[in-house]
């Protein structure tokens, strides 16, 4: 026996034990301190992030009347794994669905992107009746839970296009924007879309801990790391809810749009697109998609189409005002200038056609809306000596026109507005060939026809600029965001038009006043108010002409600039002018002195050709 | 002086007792955390495991004192008796005991159960110590070549192996308790200290390495590598007959192990095969099924960070993500709630205790006490290494408790008896000297 030798083995054995311990401690160091994966895994195991949805901001009209508020609604959520063995038949009965549907939804809740352990929506926005029934019996349905959400509610069924609607966020958007999760709500159109950020507020998160059976065990660190939901901000709109409602009533049975602007601020007073729809139709759960489909496929009336911002109409004779201003600014015509009119524009063999307006001066040409006169004016501008090259003359006219807003994106605070079109030189070069067209070729541009198009909002902006004698504020419908009523500074910026000659505006205003007094709008004179107007009859290739009427009032210190366009209604003086006159009268005086006119206008159904007014002066 | 000699704690190694007490206390705190539930907070609630563990702890203390009272000679004299009686109990338990959760290793007494296999550890250790201390030449290598000589020379080794093999085989085959059975392998460390040829250990380690290698890599590649190593050895060592024979024997054995691996692997039980797969990352491990335990254990420990989540703050343990978290996976609670700091301290404490026991064993004059001491150290080491190793993914899952930590009366009693017999022997080392 060699005990002293063997005794050395204690060192080897001890060393072995120590080495193993060191290996283990190193391994612990690695998984506990270096590798973060396990920390994440532990959180995924035990933490459930519960989203607290903020209340969406209310929207008020210019007088503080409520346009949009919220109503609580409840979603039914299910965690399939926990719902095993729940009383399916009883639940189906409450929800008024059959077993097949139940199983279909259960399957959907189980499969990706949902999971058996994850809560997902079983039924959205329960009706009040089902909610009441369900709330009592919920304890019987294991795995099911109610989640409070808010839906929009509209006290008056108006301004659907303007306000827009809220709906579930698209998959695309949810993937791109980290704020949204699938199933979240987002403003899809109108104010709801463009003011989504202040309206939505900020979601809060509650960290809830669950055990291995997914049973809630309480808040993580007593809620120390939770974030509170920040409610959405209120919006103070410039819309006059009464004017909006009145405009929509007057436009009932007619296709078209009304846009009214306060020229002194650029605030939109009303924005009517007709036919419209009740915004309350697009909030509910089940009904919502049904209603949307119905509106979406109404190809005759296109009720979802916002004509005020998106329909590009030829402005017709209302455009003559711009020609008159540009020509005066360029010193090409004066108040007393007259042009021949021989039931049409003589150089082009009587086209564009006209009534016989012999020797009217500038204001008279506006009041009587002489086509021939403005064909000459257009030529005077385009062919003026300053621009030896014809194309330069044309571009000068085009730029001057665009300074009033046409063919530009005005930059309003509503989404999806269209720019309209003032054709470019390049366009006509393509159509006619370079050097193969002259001012006379496109002379109908001068009277607001041909390829010239504006959307109603731009038409109203033109009137506002004329009312302001040479500038406009970008039209906008929100005057204040949140309690501090913050206004976007870009809406405080004056945009000057090409025409700054104040005499030119005097002359044009005279003509517009005369339009009411003795011209094409005389049938719609507003009692007690000096107003300025201009009729338009926009010929279009799709059918009867659109009736247009532009107006601002009072002439001095104007409070409202308004445009009304009624599709396929013929002469502007017949349909659009009376509508405008009623709205202006009601807005400025607060009363209606012509109830019979109001009644007839409201009852007239142009879409179905019923209750039509007698055709007035053409 | 006399009075002091007769005192209960005379000669008792206070450091060891103190370390033991700390480990038991920490174990209890972690059991409390593992089964912690807001509804049951009374620590004396004996319907809860931490309440029961308090009973186990106080009874263990009673047993420890009893052992210190009993004359040390009692254990040497009755070493074989303990061994025989407990071996019989182990044989009998599958037939006489009641089945609990599919396990046939328990005797039940009302609410409480006892696993005789747990107590087999100290009995085997006593028997082994008695046997080895009684023979003159322990286990030693030989240079003679005759088979009878080899056998004669290895006679004691073989007998010692039988002492260990009997409980291992009985517990494995009759009770099907792999965890309880495999512990007896730990005594190889004792045998090594007492002279077992280092070749055996090298052979064992080499085989284990080859077993793992042939599971994780292509067998043909492995064979080629072995052949190349053999060829290189022939090139570089002195080319005499003896060396050539040794090299070819080694190569043949190695090939045998590699081929044998498949056979062994395929004849393992399903769950054991899966556990090996999980450890070695073979194939795709389903973290919801076979990989669940180990993965959740790793998540618990890994999420602890440096300082841990704080006592009773471990989400993995508190909310039952880790299975068996009060018994075999108790280390997860330590790792999660006490972090790297706490788990290192636990490992260091256990290591300290084991090294202390080796130190004490080496100061014994009686071979019996020394051999027994090494047995205690070996068994403790084996338990700690395997138990902690499986929770951090370094060992396959084998259901054995963490000494002094895991919940359970049998294991706590067993470890207490195992340790305190040695403390008693150590306390008597001076008395025997006189």
Neighbours of A341 (CB within 10 A): 24
**In chain B, whose CA is at the least distance from the CA of A221?**
B313
Same domain, A228 and A271: no
User: For residue A263, what pLDDT is reported?
Assistant: 95
Q: Which residues of B244-269 are buried (b: 16+ CB within 10 A; e: fewer)?
A: eeebeebbeebbebbeebeeebeeee
> For position A243, what pLDDT does the model report?
94
Which of A17, A47, A211 is opposite residue B320, by nearest beta carbon?
A211
pLDDT for res B145:
53
Residue A515 lies in a domain: yes
Those of residues 211-270 in A touching chain B at CB distance below 8 A are 211-213, 217
Q: Which residues of B touch A37 (CB under 8 A)?
A: 302
How sure is the predictor about A270, in pLDDT bands with cuts at 50, 70 and 90?
A: very high
Please name the residue of chain A whose CA is at the shortest distance from the CA of residue B380: A17
pLDDT digit string, tens, across residues B19-57: 999 999 999 999 988 887 766 667 777 778 888 899 999
- Tell me, yes or no, whether A158 and A271 share the same domain: no
pLDDT tens, residue by residue, B234-278: 888 777 888 888 888 888 888 888 888 888 888 887 778 888 887
Query: Are A194 and A255 within one domain?
Result: no
Residue B343 contacts A, CB cutoff 8 Å: yes
| Residues of B in Cβ contact (< 8 Å) with A6 | 193-195
Tell me the pLDDT tens digit for each residue of B272-307. 888 888 777 776 777 767 778 888 888 999 999 999
Percent of chain B at pLDDT > 70 equals 90
Share of chain A above pLDDT 90, in %: 39
Q: Which of A237, A266, A289 is the last residue of a domain?
A: A237
Q: For position B4, what pLDDT does the model report?
A: 55
d(CA B28, CA B51): 9
Separation CA A190–CA A159 (nearest Å)? 10
Residue B433 has a pLDDT of 45
Q: Which residue has the tokens 């304890």?
A: A139
Specify whether A599 is located in the same domain as A461: yes
Indicate whether A197 and A264 sit together in one domain. Answer: no
Q: For helices B367-391 and B292-302, what crossing angle results, to 10°? A: 90
Q: Is the pLDDT of residue A456 over 80?
A: yes
Whether residues A213 and A70 fall in one domain: yes
Residue A353 confidence (pLDDT): 80
Query: Both tokens of residue A15?
Result: 């060393």
- Does the residue A310 lie in any domain? yes
Cβ of residue A209 closer than 8 Å to a chain B Cβ: yes
Based on the domain organization, do A315 and A168 belong to the same domain?
Answer: no
Chain A CA closest to residue B338: A32
Q: Which residues of A touch B351 (CB under 8 A)?
A: 17-18, 21
Say whether A374 sits in a helix, a strand or coil: helix
Tell me the nearest-neighbour CA distance from A4 into chain B, angstroms. Answer: 11
Asked if B298 and A38 come within 8 Å (Cβ–Cβ), the reply is: yes
The answer to whether B301 contacts A25, with C-beta atoms less than 8 Å apart, is: no
Confidence at residue A617, expressed as pLDDT on a 0 to 100 scale: 37
Q: pLDDT-based confidence at A615, cuts 50/70/90?
A: very low
Q: Are residues A200 and A245 in the same domain?
A: no
Q: What is the pLDDT of residue B377?
A: 96
Omega before A29 cis (within 30°)?
Answer: no
The mean pLDDT value for A454-474 works out to 95
CB contact under 8 A, B304 and A32: yes
Q: Which residue in A400, A372, A405, A362 sits closest to A515, CA to CA?
A: A362
Residue with tokens 């009736």: A547
Assess whether A556 and A587 both reside in one domain. yes
Is B244 in the A-facing interface, judged by CB distances under 8 Å? no
So what's the pLDDT on residue A290? Answer: 83
Verify whether the Cβ–Cβ distance A46 to B347 is below 8 Å: no
Q: How far apart are CA B296 and CA B302, in angstroms?
A: 10
- In A10-69, the residues whose Cβ lies within 8 Å of chain B are 10, 13-14, 17-18, 20-21, 23-25, 27-29, 31-33, 35, 37-39, 41-43, 45-47
Q: What is the pLDDT of residue B240?
A: 80
Q: What is the ipTM of this complex?
A: 0.91
Provide, as residue numbers in chain B, all residues whose Cβ is less than 8 Å from the Cβ of A39.
302-303, 305
Tell me which of A237, A260, A295 is where a domain ends.
A237
pLDDT for the residue A531: 92
User: Is residue A463 in some structural domain?
Assistant: yes
Supply φ then ψ for residue B11, to 5 degrees.
75, 0
For B195, name the nearest residue in chain A, comparing CA atoms only: A6
Measured between beta carbons, the chain A residues lying within 8 angstroms of B194 are 6
Smallest Cα distance from A141 to chain B, Å: 24
What is the three-class DSSP state of A209?
strand
| Residue A434 neighbours by CB distance under 10 Å | 11
The confidence score (pLDDT) of residue B41 equals 65
State percent of chain A over pLDDT 70. Answer: 97
Residue B187 in tokens = 């005594």
pLDDT at A206: 84
Please tell me the predicted confidence (pLDDT) of residue B1: 42
CA A436 to chain centre: 41
Between residues B100 and A12, the one the model is more confident about: A12
Spacing of C-alpha A435 from chain mean position = 41
A10 interaction partners in chain B (CB closer than 8 Å): 193, 358, 361-362
Q: Tell me the pLDDT tens digit for each residue of A50-74.
A: 778 888 999 999 999 999 999 888 8
Residues of B in contact with A42 (CB under 8 A): 299-300, 302-303, 315-316, 336
C-alpha–C-alpha distance, residues B431 and A399, integer Å: 118
Shortest CA distance from A32: residue in chain B? B302
Give A125-192 as a DSSP string: S--HHHHHHHHHHGGGSTTEEEEEEEEEE-SSS--HHHH--EEEPPHHHHHH-TT--TT-EEE-SHHH
Instruction: Determine, yes or no, domain membership for A108.
Output: yes
Taking phi over 0 as left and psi of -120 to 50 as alpha, with beta for the rest, B331 belongs to alpha
Q: Which CATH number fits the domain that encloses residue A322?
A: 3.40.710.10
**Of A237, A253, A268, which one is at a domain's C-terminal end?**
A237
Angle at B190 between CA B185 and CA B195, to 5 degrees: 120
Q: Per the domain annotation, does A92 fall within a domain?
A: yes
Rounded CA-CA distance A456/A247 in Å is: 14
B3 pLDDT more than 60: no
Statement to judge: residues A147 and A252 lie in one domain: no
Measured between alpha carbons, how far is A400 from A395 in angstroms, rounded to an integer? 8
Interface of B with A in 354-383 (CB under 8 A): 354-355, 358, 361-362, 374, 377, 381
A155 has pLDDT over 60: yes
pLDDT at A356: 64
Residues from chain A contacting residue B321 (CB–CB below 8 Å): 45-46, 211-212
Residues 6 or more apart in contact with residue B183 via CB below 8 angstroms: B121, B379, B382, B383, B400
Mean local confidence (pLDDT), A113-142: 81
Among candidates B7, B27, B30, which has minimal Cα distance to B311? B30
**Residue A166 phi, psi (nearest 5):** -110, 140
B241 by Cβ neighbours in 10 Å (0-12 / 13-18 / 19+) ranks as: exposed
Q: Quick one: pLDDT at residue A267?
A: 95
Instruction: Tell me, yes or no, whether A301 lies in a domain.
Output: no
Number of domains forming the structure of chain A = 2
Contact call for B355 and A42, based on CB within 8 A: no
Condensed to tens digits (0 to 9), the pLDDT of residues A16-49 reads 999 999 999 999 999 999 988 888 888 887 887 7
Round to whole Å and give the CA distance between A121 and A391.
Answer: 63
User: Do A539 and A440 fall within a single domain?
Assistant: yes
User: Cα B412–B190–B147 angle (5° rounding)?
Assistant: 140
Buried b (16+ CB within 10 A) or exposed e, A92-123: bebbeeeeeebeebbeebbeeebebebbbbbb
Task: Specify the CATH number for the domain of residue A122.
Answer: 3.90.1310.10
How far, CA to CA in Å, does A535 sit from each of A368, A576, B46? 9, 8, 95
What residues in A contact B393, CB-CB < 8 Å?
Answer: 27, 31
Q: Cβ A38–B354 below 8 Å, yes or no?
A: no
Chain B residues within 8 A of A41 when measuring between CB atoms: 295, 299, 302-303
Q: Would the pLDDT of A469 be above 60?
A: yes
B354 CB neighbours in chain A (<8 A) are 17
Sorting pLDDT into bands at 50, 70 and 90, what band is B136? Answer: low
Domain hosting residue A556, numbered range: 241-277+306-603
A528 falls within a domain: yes
Average pLDDT over residues A468-497: 92
Residue of B291, B299, B349 to mutate, interface with A, max A Cβ within 10 Å? B299
A209 with A344, same domain?
Answer: no
- SS3 for chain B is CHHHHHCCCCCCCHHHHHHHHHHHHHHHHHHHHHCCECCECCCCCCCCHHHHHHHHHHHHHHHHHHHHHCCCHHHHHCHHHHHHHHHHHHHHHHHHCCCECCECCCEEECCEEECHHHHHHHHHHHHHHHHHHHCCCCCCCCCCCCHHHHHHHCHHHHHHHHHHHHHHHHHHHHHCCHHHHHHHHHHHHHHHHCCCCHHHHHHHHHHHHHHHHHHHCCHHHHHHHHHHHHHHHHHHCCCCHHHHHHHHHHHHHHHHHHHHHHHHHHCCCHHHHHHHHHHHCCCCCCCCCCCHHHHHHHHHHHCCCCCCCCCCCCHHHHCCCCCCCCCCCHHHHHHHHHHHHHHHHHHHHHHHHHHHHHHHHHCCCCHHHHHHHHHHHHHHHHHHHHHHHHHCCCCCCCCCCCCCCCCCHHHHHHHHHHHHHHHHHHHCHHHHHC
Give tens-digit pLDDT for A351-396.
778 776 667 888 988 888 888 889 899 999 998 888 888 889 999 9
Specify if A339 maps to a domain.
yes
List chain B residues with CB under 8 Å of A17: 351, 354-355, 358, 377, 381
Give the mean pLDDT of B345-368. Answer: 94
Interface touch A211/B319, C-beta < 8 Å = yes
Query: What is the structure's pLDDT at A115?
Result: 74
Q: Which residue of chain B has the CA closest to A41?
A: B299
Look up tokens 């005086």; give the residue. Answer: A589
Give the pLDDT of residue A1.
41
């Amino acid at each position: 026996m060699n005990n002293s030798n063997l005794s050395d083995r204690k060192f080897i054995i001890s060393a072995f034990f120590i080495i193993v311990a060191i290996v283990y401690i190193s391994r612990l160091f690695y998984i506990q301190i270096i590798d973060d994966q396990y920390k994440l895994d532990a959180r995924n195991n035990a933490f459930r992030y519960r989203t607290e949805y903020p209340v969406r901001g209310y929207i008020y009209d210019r007088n503080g009347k409520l346009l949009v508020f919220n109503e609580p609604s409840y979603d039914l959520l299910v965690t399939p794994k926990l719902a095993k063995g729940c009383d399916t038949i009883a639940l189906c009965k409450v929800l008024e669905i059959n077993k097949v549907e139940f199983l279909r939804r259960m399957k959907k809740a189980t499969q990706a992107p949902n999971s058996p352990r994850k809560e997902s929506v079983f039924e959205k926005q329960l009706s009040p009746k089902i909610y009441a029934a369900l709330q009592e019996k919920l304890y019987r349905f294991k795995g099911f839970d109610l989640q409070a959400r808010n839906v929009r509610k509209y006290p008056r069924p108006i301004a659907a296009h303007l306000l827009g609607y809220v709906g579930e966020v698209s998959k695309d958007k949810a993937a791109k924007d980290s704020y949204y999760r699938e199933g979240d709500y987002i403003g899809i159109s109108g104010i709801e879309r463009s003011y989504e950020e202040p309206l939505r507020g900020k979601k809060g998160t509650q960290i809830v801990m669950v055990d291995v059976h997914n049973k809630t065990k309480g808040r993580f660190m007593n809620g120390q790391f939770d974030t509170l939901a920040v409610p959405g901000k209120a919006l103070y709109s410039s819309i006059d809810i009464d004017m909006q409602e009145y405009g929509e009533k007057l436009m009932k049975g007619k296709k078209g749009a009304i846009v009214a602007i306060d020229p002194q601020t650029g605030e939109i007073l009303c924005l009517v697109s007709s036919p419209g729809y009740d915004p309350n139709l697009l909030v509910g759960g089940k009904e919502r998609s049904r209603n949307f489909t119905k509106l979406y496929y109404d190809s005759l009336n296109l009720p979802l189409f916002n004509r005020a911002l998106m329909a590009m109409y030829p402005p017709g004779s209302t455009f003559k005002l711009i020609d008159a201003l540009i020509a005066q600014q360029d010193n090409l015509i004066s108040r007393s200038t007259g042009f021949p009119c021989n039931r049409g524009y003589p150089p082009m063999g009587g086209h564009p056609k006209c009534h016989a307006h012999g020797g009217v001066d500038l204001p008279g040409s506006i009041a009587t809306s002489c086509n021939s006169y403005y064909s000459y004016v257009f030529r005077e501008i385009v062919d003026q000596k300053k621009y030896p090259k014809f194309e330069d003359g044309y571009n000068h006219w085009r730029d001057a026109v665009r300074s009033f807003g046409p063919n530009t994106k005005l930059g309003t605070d509503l989404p999806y507005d269209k720019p309209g079109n003032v054709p470019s030189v390049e366009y006509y070069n393509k159509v006619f060939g370079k050097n193969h067209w002259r001012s006379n070729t496109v002379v109908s541009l001068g009277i607001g026809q041909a390829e010239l198009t504006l959307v109603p909002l731009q038409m109203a902006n033109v009137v506002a600029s004329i009312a302001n004698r040479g500038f406009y504020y970008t039209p906008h419908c929100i005057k204040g965001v949140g309690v501090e009523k913050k206004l976007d500074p870009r809406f405080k910026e004056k945009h000057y038009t090409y025409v700054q000659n104040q005499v030119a505006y005097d002359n044009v205003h005279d003509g517009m006043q005369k339009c009411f007094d003795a011209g094409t709008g005389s049938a719609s004179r507003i009692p007690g108010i000096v107003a300025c107007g201009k009729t338009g009859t926009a010929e279009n290739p799709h059918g009867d002409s659109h009736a247009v009427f532009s107006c601002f009032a009072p002439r001095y210190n104007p409070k409202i600039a308004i445009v009304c366009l009624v599709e396929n209604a013929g002469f502007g003086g017949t349909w659009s002018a009376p509508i405008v006159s009623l709205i202006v009268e009601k807005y400025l005086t607060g009363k209606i002195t012509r109830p019979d006119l109001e009644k007839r206008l409201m009852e007239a159904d142009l879409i179905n050709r019923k209750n039509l007014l007698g055709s007035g002066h053409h | 002086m006399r009075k002091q000699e007769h005192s209960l704690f005379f000669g008792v190694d206070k450091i060891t007792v103190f370390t033991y007490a700390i480990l038991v206390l920490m174990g209890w705190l972690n059991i409390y955390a593992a089964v912690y539930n807001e509804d049951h907070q009374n620590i004396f609630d004996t319907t809860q495991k931490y309440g029961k563990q308090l009973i186990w702890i106080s009874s263990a203390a009673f047993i420890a004192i009893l052992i210190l009272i009993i004359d040390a000679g009692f254990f040497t004299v009755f070493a074989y008796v303990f061994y025989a009686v407990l071996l019989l109990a182990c044989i009998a338990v599958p037939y006489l005991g009641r089945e609990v959760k599919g396990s046939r290793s328990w005797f039940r007494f009302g609410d409480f159960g006892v696993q005789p296999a747990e107590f087999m550890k100290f009995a085997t250790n006593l028997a082994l110590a008695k046997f080895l201390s009684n023979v003159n030449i322990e286990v030693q290598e030989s240079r003679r070549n005759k088979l009878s000589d080899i056998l004669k020379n290895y006679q004691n080794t073989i007998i010692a192996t039988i002492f260990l093999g009997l409980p291992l085989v009985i517990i494995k085959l009759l009770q099907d308790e792999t965890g309880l059975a495999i512990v007896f392998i730990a005594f190889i460390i004792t045998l090594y200290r007492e002279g077992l040829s280092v070749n055996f250990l090298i052979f064992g380690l080499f085989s284990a390495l080859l077993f793992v290698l042939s599971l994780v890599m292509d067998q043909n590649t492995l064979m080629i590598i072995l052949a190349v190593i053999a060829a290189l050895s022939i090139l570089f060592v002195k080319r005499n007959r003896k060396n050539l024979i040794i090299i070819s024997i080694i190569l043949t054995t190695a090939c045998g192990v590699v081929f044998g691996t498949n056979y062994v692997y395929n004849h393992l039980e399903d769950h054991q095969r899966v556990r090996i797969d999980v450890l070695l990352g073979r194939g795709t491990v389903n973290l919801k099924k076979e990989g669940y335990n180990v993965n959740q254990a790793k998540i618990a420990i890994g999420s602890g960070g440096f300082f841990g989540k704080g006592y009773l703050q471990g989400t993995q343990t508190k909310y039952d993500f880790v299975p068996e978290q009060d018994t075999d996976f108790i280390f997860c609670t330590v790792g999660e709630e006490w972090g790297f700091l706490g788990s290192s301290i636990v490992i260091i404490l256990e290591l300290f205790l084991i090294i202390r026991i080796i130190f004490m064993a080496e100061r014994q004059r009686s071979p019996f006490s020394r051999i027994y001491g090494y047995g205690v150290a070996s068994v403790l080491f084996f338990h700690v290494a395997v138990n902690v190793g499986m929770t951090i993914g370094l060992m396959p899952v084998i259901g054995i408790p963490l000494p002094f930590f895991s919940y359970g009366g049998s294991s706590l009693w067993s470890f207490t008896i195992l340790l305190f017999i040695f403390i008693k022997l150590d306390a008597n080392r001076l008395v025997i000297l006189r």
